[in-house]
């Protein structure tokens, strides 16, 4: 008899992970603007305030710097806070606490303390939220030693990686693409973890490796399925973790396929694809390349409000198909 696979949305998977963490460890609590009665800007926290009370699901004032400071301070005292930013763009308001405090305390104090704080960032374009509410800033934080930066692409992974992040002794920044919140997928019940720092090969292939992040994983898989009909067999790697990056999985794949396409939503210049490309160029996989590495990232412009322009600023499935086809056929 077939057993039905339980499916949850990406948002539901996050909520379930936070509930499990709070049930298992009284040190875990939530902070953020409007996460209490309102349930969060994207309704991710939902009814958790009713289940756990306002002392553990805390609405904060409209001050990202202040909220982040409280979260970092609480982590230093042994608590395990999960701090939600309404939009990832607002990380810019809290960089002092994220970059100068959370990331550096363990090092500056000789390993005598840890900062087990999790910060959640709804990120990315596609909602018509315009330039100040649609950015992808994971490369900014991925540049900082002391931070771990993750980008789960599926409901299964976001639950498991969030639970791994809560248990981690170091600060973990989790970027959640806003368009993924309603996406559904199989999610096991109960507690499980997905390792931070390990990429996942979503599709095996022989002709070309695509390394993608977040929502671009799904677009890359769609492109790969379309190109299969043309006889182009693509391997798709879901990077999952920006820092620490799983470079070995990428290197091994490129040795097999001899071609690499990096796909990410953030602005192309100095983005994740640059680090992925460098990892291959600095390894023995470079000798296996049959074509130059190609990066397909966002346009060099703030995200527009107009929906057609917004869509045109970040890679879409036809863009990935065109880039992969040209690379596989030696036109790049």
143 is catalytic: no
Buried b (16+ CB within 10 A) or exposed e, 51-82: ebeeebbbbbeeebeebbbbbbebbbeebbbb
Q: How far is CA 239 from the centre of its chain?
A: 9
133 is catalytic: yes
Residue 267 pairs in a beta bridge with 298
Nearest to 13 by CA among 242, 170, 183, 201: 183
d(CA 154, CA 144): 25
The single residue of 16, 33, 84, 133 carrying the catalytic annotation is 133
The single residue of 64, 84, 138, 265 carrying the catalytic annotation is 64
- What are the phi and psi torsion angles at 294 (to 5°)? -120, 135
Count other C-beta atoms under 10 Å from residue 297's C-beta. 23
DSSP element (H, E) containing 86: none
d(CA 126, CA 129): 8
Contact 67/33 with Cβ under 8 angstroms? yes
Peptide bond into 244 cis (omega under 30): yes
Which of the residues are catalytic? 64, 133
């Amino acid at each position: 008899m077939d057993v039905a696979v339980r499916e949850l949305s990406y948002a539901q998977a996050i909520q379930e992970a936070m509930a499990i963490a709070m049930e298992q460890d009284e040190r875990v609590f939530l902070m953020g603007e409007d996460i209490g009665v309102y349930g969060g800007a994207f309704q991710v926290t939902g009814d958790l305030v009713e289940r756990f009370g306002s002392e553990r699901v805390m609405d904060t004032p409209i001050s990202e710097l202040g909220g982040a400071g409280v979260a970092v301070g609480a982590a230093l005292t042994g608590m395990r806070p999960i701090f939600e930013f309404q939009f990832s763009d607002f990380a810019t308001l809290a960089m002092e606490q994220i970059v100068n405090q959370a990331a550096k305390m363990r090092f500056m104090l000789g390993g005598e303390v840890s900062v087990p704080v999790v910060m959640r960032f709804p990120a990315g374009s596609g909602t018509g939220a315009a330039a100040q509410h649609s950015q992808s800033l994971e490369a900014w934080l991925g540049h900082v030693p002391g931070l771990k930066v993750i980008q789960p692409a599926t409901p299964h992974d976001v639950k498991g990686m969030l639970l791994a992040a809560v248990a981690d002794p170091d600060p973990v920044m989790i970027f959640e693409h806003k368009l993924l919140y309603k996406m559904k997928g199989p999610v096991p019940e109960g507690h499980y973890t997905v390792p931070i720092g390990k990429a996942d090969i979503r599709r095996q292939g022989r002709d070309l490796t695509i390394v993608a992040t977040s929502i671009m994983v799904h677009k890359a898989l769609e492109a790969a399925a379309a190109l299969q009909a043309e006889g182009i067999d693509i391997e798709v790697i879901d990077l999952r973790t920006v820092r620490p990056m799983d470079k070995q999985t990428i290197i091994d794949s490129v040795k097999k396929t001899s071609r690499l396409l990096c796909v990410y939503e953030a602005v192309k210049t100095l983005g994740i694809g640059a680090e992925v490309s460098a990892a291959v160029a600095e390894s023995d996989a470079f000798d296996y390349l049959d074509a130059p590495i190609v990066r397909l990232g966002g346009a060099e412009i703030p995200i527009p409000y107009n929906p057609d322009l917004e869509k045109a600023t970040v890679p879409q499935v036809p863009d990935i198909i065109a880039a992969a086809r040209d690379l596989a056929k030696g036109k790049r």
